[in-house]
Amino acid sequence: MMIDADFAYGNSLPGSSGVPLALALYADRPHLLGQLRDDAIAAGFQITDVGPVDSLLEAEERPLGELVLVDCPAPDAATLAALTRLDLRAAHSGTQLIVSTSVAALDDVFGCLDQSSPQLLVDPSRAEWVIALGRAMAGSAQLRLRELSEEDRLVLLRLTEQVGQIAQRLEKLEGPVRDFGPGDGDSAFRFESPRPAFASAESEDGSARLVRASRPPLPDPRLVRRIIRQRQLRARFFDGDLFGDPAWDMLLDLTAARAEHTRVSVTSLCIASGVPPTTALRWIGQMTDAGLLERVEDETDRRRAFIALTEKAADGMARYFAELGNQAARLV
């Protein structure tokens, strides 16, 4: 699918004297190769090289452009060695790298890319690829920031907005129907008082018995998103390493997503954790083993998976927010 004409970016970035950014693309999956090529062309990149991942070895004889995309979900030893050399070359030349891989191969791939600060994607959707392209475009423009006129700055802003529009359109085409929760008239800070975990009920013979009370509803996702933003705001004033709490950050993100009836990819959850991808994946593994998270396969592509709260975790988060509301009510 090509991006619609009204979403095209033009032929070059601002400040680039009309010369489009050079992009090389390497992937073994033909459908992905074609899809990424179409999206890159629509974004205004000049494609300098396209081929399978093993052609990275041949590409070592040619100069790198501004951006290199590599998809390697199951890299072998030769590919990992090529990635290591590509990482070093990119670090010296200023080339931006976008590398996609799988959860199983993430540790190996991450270990090869410690010099160039690449964008590392895990089982990405098409929208996530487009967003990564947009970030690369913005990053290239920042390198030329002093050369930008006010008109160019406005063009760059428009480019950034269009990246978001494309991503939203792709998500609507590929993802499930989204339910955005309560209407605009509902309060974003409405809580319901929690019910006890067990309540007394009278049986037919008149004897009392204990029955588990129903779970309170999940909090309004707008409230959870606000809490997430407030937590992220701390890094503007203090060293972000002081507040590392990836498990809680992931639980908050997944709680909001569940209330919004949206799915969360492994890549998105790693970003939400606020820690390096390999660290985030270890937390995901531990929380899955603890029965808090579960992997949900993509019905349309079995190679991809999403992460969701288990019923146990959803129950705990619902009761936690309900108790917060109950305590807030007692303070009024």
Q: Please give the biggest Cα pair distance in the chain.
A: 87
Q: Calculate the alpha carbon distances from 224 to 218, 235, 259, 280, 318 in Å.
A: 10, 18, 10, 20, 11
Superfamily for 5-174? Answer: Response regulator (3.40.50.2300)
Structural contact between residues 98 and 67, judged by C-beta atoms closer than 8 angstroms: yes
Q: Calculate the alpha carbon distances from 242 to 199, 234, 253, 269, 283 in Å.
A: 41, 9, 20, 20, 18
Rg of the chain (C-alpha set): 24
Which residue do the tokens 């309170």 mark? 216
pLDDT of residue 139: 64
* Higher pLDDT pick, 187 / 95: 95
CATH of 221-331, one of 1.10.10.10, 2.30.330.10, 1.10.760.10, 3.40.30.10: 1.10.10.10
Range(s) of the chain covered by CATH 3.40.50.2300? 5-174
Among the ranges given (10-14, 39-43, 81-85, 177-181), the one the predictor scored with the smallest mean pLDDT: 177-181
**pLDDT mean over 159-184:** 48
Q: What tens digit of pLDDT does each residue of 146-168 get?
A: 444 555 555 555 555 555 555 55
Q: Name the pLDDT band for 232 (thresholds 50, 70, 90).
A: confident
Specify the amino acid at residue 332. Answer: V
Instruction: Kindly report the backbone phi and psi dihedral angles of residue 47, in degrees, each rounded to the nearest multiple of 5, phi listed first.
Output: -80, 120
Specify the amino acid at residue 102. Answer: S
| Helix (H) or strand (E) run with residue 88 in it | helix 77-93
**pLDDT mean over 294-310:** 81
Q: What tens digit of pLDDT does each residue of 197-225 get?
A: 444 444 455 554 545 557 788 889 999 99
Q: Name the pLDDT band for 6 (thresholds 50, 70, 90).
A: very low
Q: Is the pTM of this model over 0.95?
A: no
pLDDT of residue 262: 92
